């Protein structure tokens, strides 16, 4: 005799569906949480990577600022350079009487480092027309740390042939000038600033680097890192000539004789602040932080971007080189 088969009652079906929905909701909640955590971790990792790269790049340039190969002095005295070429057309020229790519005779001390806080998008004698207001721009002049063999000289670069007591700057297409007991080094003039690029519907801050080149535009600009929103420098100045930093000073408060190393004043170090921002906003995040960068601050004002502030202090070993 067959037994009568019975299915689930309506109440049992509803109970099973309710339990299933609870389980599915829990799984979805865990999935969404893991996805959010993964996105946040990825975003913070990208910020860390971009910030460390920018800090490393700027630190490397600052460490070697005022390096002139075998020359026993810095280039503030133009009497050491013969010949001294004219600054190329379209050069990035900063503040002061002698602040182009090359030292000019008879017009004041040559500035091998100089910075300013951007107050107008057009800066450096019209060389830049898209700078971010409120960030800092900096010029750094030096040679590459390793000498160049004559066979490796490139026509689109500039070089300095430096001995112990004098040197000569020349274009790569020219014959190497005669200098006693000398070696050839690649001559560099770098300019760093921040601009904003439109990427889809987003405005993305970008760290730009300008490099001196021989031919075409005097300074060729390339994008280095996305997401670098602000850079600020504080210069450690020795005003008493005893080799000890007396104060860290923002660009806006730096005097001419500080930049010119006049009266035995030297810039011995730099405090560097780099504020890094996420490329795209996160609508689930509200940033109310105020980021202190030395003597200035940046207020996120409740926007939806994640940020990390990096800071470091860079020693300037070449600042102690004597000046004739």
3-state secondary structure labels for all residues of 222-257? EEEEECEEEEEEEEEEECCCCCCCCEEECHHHCCHH
Q: What is the pLDDT of residues 158-180, one digit of tens each?
A: 999 999 888 999 999 999 999 99
Whether the per-residue pLDDT at 324 is higher than 50: the answer is no
Domain boundaries, the chain: 33-320
Q: Please, which pLDDT band fits residue 49 given cuts at 50, 70 and 90?
A: very high
Residue with the two structure tokens 């790519």: 101
- Distance (Å, rounded) from C-alpha 116 to C-alpha 95? 9
pTM summary value: 0.86
Whether the per-residue pLDDT at 3 is higher than 70: the answer is no
Which is it for strands 136-143 and 113-117: parallel, antiparallel or unpaired?
Answer: antiparallel
The whole-number average pLDDT for the span 200-228 is 93
Q: Please, which pLDDT band fits residue 81 given cuts at 50, 70 and 90?
A: confident
């Amino acid at each position: 005799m067959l037994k009568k088969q019975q299915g689930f009652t309506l109440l049992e079906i509803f109970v099973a569906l309710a339990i299933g929905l609870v389980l599915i909701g829990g799984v979805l909640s865990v999935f969404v949480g893991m996805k959010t955590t993964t996105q946040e971790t990825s975003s913070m990792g990208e910020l860390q990577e971009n910030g460390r790269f920018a800090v490393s790049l700027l630190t490397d340039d600052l460490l070697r600022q005022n390096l002139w190969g075998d020359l026993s002095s810095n280039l503030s005295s133009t009497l050491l350079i013969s010949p001294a070429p004219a600054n190329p057309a379209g050069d990035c020229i900063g503040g002061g009487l002698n602040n182009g790519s090359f030292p000019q005779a008879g017009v004041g001390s040559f500035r091998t480092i100089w910075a300013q806080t951007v107050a107008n998008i057009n800066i450096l004698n019209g060389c830049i027309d898209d700078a971010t207001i409120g960030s800092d721009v900096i010029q750094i002049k030096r040679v590459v740390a390793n000498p160049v063999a004559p066979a490796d000289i490139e026509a689109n670069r500039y070089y300095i042939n430096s001995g112990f007591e004098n040197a000569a700057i020349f274009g790569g297409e020219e014959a190497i000038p005669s200098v006693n007991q000398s070696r050839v080094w690649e001559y560099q003039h770098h300019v760093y600033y921040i601009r904003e690029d439109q990427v889809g519907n987003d405005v993305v801050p970008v760290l730009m680097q300008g490099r001196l080149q021989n031919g075409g535009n005097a300074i060729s600009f390339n994008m280095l890192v996305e997401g670098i929103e602000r850079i600020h420098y504080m210069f450690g100045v020795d005003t008493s000539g005893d080799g000890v930093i007396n104060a860290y000073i923002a660009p806006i408060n730096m005097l001419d004789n500080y930049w010119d190393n006049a009266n035995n004043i030297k810039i011995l170090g730099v405090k560097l602040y780099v504020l890094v921002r996420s490329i795209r906003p996160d609508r689930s995040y509200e940033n109310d932080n105020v980021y202190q960068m030395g003597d200035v601050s940046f207020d996120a004002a409740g926007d939806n971007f994640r940020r990390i502030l990096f800071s470091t202090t860079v020693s300037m070993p070449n600042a102690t080189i004597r000046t004739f």
